[in-house]
Structure 1
Amino acid sequence: MRLTVSLVAALPLVAGQLDFYAKKAGLQYFGAATDTPGQRERAPFPASYPKYDAILKDPKEFGQTTPTNGMKFMFTEPEPGVFNYTEGEYVEGLAEDTGKILRCHALVWHNQLSPWFEKETWTPETMRVAITRHITNVAGHWKGRCAHWDVVNEALEEDGTYRQSIFYKVLGEEYLKLAFQVAAAVDPGAKLYYNDYGIERPASVKTAGAVKLVKMLKDAGIKIDGVGMQAHLHADNHPTTQDHIDTMKLYTALGVSEVAFTELDVRIKMPVDAEKLAMQADSYKAVATACVKVKECVGITLWDFYDPFSWVPDTFPGQGASLLWFDDFTKHPAYDVLIETFKSLAPKCTKRAKKAFKA
């Protein structure tokens, strides 16, 4: 999709790129998740790959990446005790080759489990063994290479109670404690995160559930370094800058040293028009502004950056265009708004920016 001529003409000309200006504003990174080429099923044409790869690899555009799928259970432990790291290694290798920070995702999640795991008849003891084995092997394989690990992903229902996952049904909240304890022992240098969606608004019952979960781990003396707010947002009803700031302060008040926006996208009800793109840009701006203003917010990760590779259209029919590059590689207005936002905030965050560049 291309923007109309009138809308393009109204946009400022931007020289520079996302990670470069995010760091000038004091963040550690601005990144994008990605998959292996074989999992990019929605490419409009094969020739898009070189363009896509060039953008992704540019260190000034993205200073961090996350494997969208490659480190998840179904890929890393396809059979009991049999491990395969091929998918995750692709993204890890890309990060190493281009000097990007690597966020690793995710050790314990109720979704995308291997078929054998869901067919098993579990007891508390066998579940403990399975969780320990999986984290020991997967986190151990990438030990020292992951700046952050999403240790537990999406453990809450919409009402903030614990999700009735296979892990919770067998072990209760013990599985959360166990996962973080094992991850801390296996890779003590990684920052350990709880990661979830719908926890970006301060008055949300799910946010309250996330606060309760983190407090439970902290009260038990278990290492948890950060909270990841996935931030799968809606253009026409998104949190404000102050919402994001107030929410992050709820988490940092618990003693976590980091917060981050880990899977950012802002979906639009199709078809796209200038008004919807402006609302989307406002949402992206709110995230960027809040992250810069909260010193514990280390960075922002897009859940991919190219619309054809987004999960949104398949999951939410009639919605899409949630990222920063359209199908033909023209950019959303939100891209320029992000650059201008980081530029405008940089002079107010000089000390923080210097620290980010030194890191």
Structure 2
Amino acid sequence: MVQSHSIIACALLAISPALVTAQSGLRGLHRLAKAKGRYFGTATDQLWTNTDSAYLAVTGNSSEFGVNTPGNQQKWDATEKSRNAFSFTNADYQVAWAKNHSQAVRGHTLVWHSQLPSWVSNGGFDNATLISIMENHISNVAGHFKGQLYAWDVVNEAFEENGSYRNSVFYSTIGPAYIPIALRAARAADPTAKLYLNDYNTDWTGSKSDAYYNLAKSLLAQGVPLDGIGFQGHLIVNSFERTVQENFQRFADLGLEIAITELDIRMTLPATNDLLQAQAENYAYIVKSCVAISKCVGITTWDTSDDYSWIPSVNPGQGAALLFDENKKPKPAYYSVANALAAATVSSSWA
């Protein structure tokens, strides 16, 4: 996920100014989550060039983050820039780094309309050829990491905001069948990895999440391998619908895993104390919505600290979206997340 997304606005909720009092020290978010059968993770990018020791120390702390998602290294433009010429150097580094820090890995992503090399997006292939190209890509990429990853985001961002299929090169050429084809190819390439569909603005009930719910029901009825739904969670402070738990529950009732995969909650800068307190409440709400459901297996933030966030470069004037500030110090939201994890009474079964 590297793009700007509009977020549905809702009425502002009253926030207590004393929601999160001054605290210090780290709590161990993954340690707290693991005690309830869940994980807490982060996403990272370009670790092979990173010399920021403070960032690496926090990001590599497996008490804080037990799962690592490569931000860009496993996408199509990074792994198959030219047809059938695969490169995994950077992705291998990322996976090895995570494993060296006792972190599991979520693969991201096999089929996405964005960050495609031009030979795919502008190739003008017919149906059969593009299916073969897609299956070959999945077979090689997922096959390369066979047995090394906890899960794959197989298809990313398949729907528009109104619940219609996104008119990607895959949909326009293959039709909706590209999704079950991709899932079956991923299962064949790595039988043990959990297979996910992943998207943004699906956290609450609405047209887009309805589309995923109906698709998931249809895929499961057809026997298509689908293990979970990833809810990205790119949010704006006090500007999202408060039906998240209800929405998660209906997917869980289908027997699917639920994961929050790219969580950040941005604000208009500067980050005032009131905004930071509101952000803390928002983070707590999202975490509580997950930990109330046994099938919600974990939460991943989209990077670790505010200076590494994608938000300011794509949404100028906005930022401060993560749990650690630019000095790698925990923010009020960090402690609200820790408190919500510690208070969870429903266990999950993530191993």
TM-score by length of 2: 0.91
CA contact (8 A) 1:31 1:301 kept: yes
Q: Does 2:227 align with 1:228?
A: no
CA contact (8 A) 1:236 1:276 kept: no
Amino acid at match of 2:231: M
* Unmatched 5+ stretches in structure 1: 1-5, 41-45
Q: Does 2:73 align with 1:67?
A: no
The residue that corresponds to 1:333 in the other structure is 332
State the distance in 2 between where 1:94 and 1:37 align. 8
The residue that corresponds to 1:291 in the other structure is 290
1:116-155 equivalence runs, <5 A: 116-155=119-158
- Count of residue correspondences: 335
The residue that corresponds to 2:7 in the other structure is none
State the distance in 2 between where 1:131 and 1:90 align. 24
* Unmatched 5+ stretches in structure 2: 1-16
CA contact (8 A) 1:180 1:224 kept: yes
State the distance in 2 between where 1:123 and 1:253 align. 38
When residues 15 and 196 of structure 1 are mapped into structure 2, their CA distance, relative to the original with a 3 A threshold, is closer
State the distance in 2 between where 1:118 and 1:338 align. 40
CA contact (8 A) 1:92 1:102 kept: yes
Could you say what secondary structure the match of 1:342 adopts? helix
Return the structure number with greater helix share: 1
Could you say what secondary structure the match of 1:10 adopts? coil
State the distance in 1 between where 2:79 and 2:302 align. 20
Report the CA distance between 1:323 and its aligned residue: 0.5
1:246-265 equivalence runs, <5 A: 246-256=246-256, 258-265=257-264
Identify the match of residue 40 of structure 2 among 30, 33, 44. Answer: 30
State the distance in 1 between where 2:113 and 2:175 align. 13
The residue that corresponds to 2:13 in the other structure is none
Identify the match of residue 189 of structure 1 among 188, 192, 197. Answer: 192
- Residues 92-128 of structure 1: per-residue CA shift (max 9 Å, x gap): 0012111111100000000000122122111001101
Runs of 4+ in 1 over 3 A off after TM superposition: 12-15, 37-40
Amino acid at match of 1:245: Q
The residue that corresponds to 2:208 in the other structure is 206
State the distance in 1 between where 2:59 and 2:73 align. 17
State the distance in 2 between where 1:151 and 1:10 align. 41
State the distance in 1 between where 2:110 and 2:126 align. 20
1:31-110 equivalence runs, <5 A: 31-37=41-47, 49-110=52-113
CA contact (8 A) 2:68 2:98 kept: yes
When residues 15 and 174 of structure 1 are mapped into structure 2, their CA distance, relative to the original with a 3 A threshold, is closer
State the distance in 2 between where 1:330 and 1:97 align. 24
CA contact (8 A) 1:307 1:326 kept: yes
State the distance in 2 between where 1:294 and 1:212 align. 20
Amino acid at match of 1:146: L
Could you say what secondary structure the match of 1:30 adopts? strand
Amino acid at match of 1:105: H
State the distance in 1 between where 2:167 and 2:212 align. 15
Report the CA distance between 1:219 and its aligned residue: 2.2
**148-157 vs 86-95, which moves further:** 86-95
State the distance in 1 between where 2:22 and 2:37 align. 25
CA contact (8 A) 1:18 1:339 kept: yes
- Calculate the aligned-residue CA RMSD, in Å: 1.9
Report the CA distance between 1:79 and its aligned residue: 0.4
CA contact (8 A) 1:27 1:292 kept: no
1:161-176 equivalence runs, <5 A: 161-176=164-179
CA contact (8 A) 2:105 2:151 kept: yes
State the distance in 2 between where 1:68 and 1:36 align. 8
Amino acid at match of 1:250: R
Report the CA distance between 1:245 and its aligned residue: 1.2
Identify the match of residue 10 of structure 1 among 21, 26, 43. Answer: 21
CA contact (8 A) 1:14 1:339 kept: no
State the distance in 1 between where 2:27 and 2:315 align. 33
- Residues 45-103 of structure 1: per-residue CA shift (max 9 Å, x gap): x6xx1111111111101100000000000000010000001121121001211111110
Report the CA distance between 1:253 and its aligned residue: 2.4
TM-score by length of 1: 0.89
Identify the match of residue 160 of structure 1 among 158, 163, 175. Answer: 163
CA contact (8 A) 2:78 2:87 kept: yes
When residues 56 and 274 of structure 1 are mapped into structure 2, their CA distance, relative to the original with a 3 A threshold, is same
